[in-house]
Amino acid sequence: MRRFSSRGNVLILALSQALMLCAIVLSMVLAAILGAMLAPDKGLAMLPVAAMLIGNNRVPR
């Protein structure tokens, strides 16, 4: 079993969090661009992003 140092663990966690945040931003940007391309009315272009935000915030308690 490999033993990692504390510094190595922090580096791995920091890189993982950075990649996760990049993926979240990329999915929001792509949803907005695709929504603008697919929506018959440009006012509905942000509907996919709004649906993702509402869906993620509705956590059962």
Dihedral of alpha carbons 24, 26, 29, 31, sign: negative
pLDDT of residue 19: 96
Distance CA 45, CA 39 (A): 6
pLDDT of residue 13: 95
- Count Cα neighbours of 21 within 13 Å in the Cβ-side half-sphere: 6
pLDDT of residue 23: 93
* Domain locations along the chain: 6-57
pLDDT of residue 35: 84
Q: pLDDT grade, residue 2 (50/70/90)?
A: low
pLDDT digits (tens, 9 = 90+) for 5-61: 888 899 999 999 999 999 988 988 888 888 888 888 888 888 878 887 887 777 666
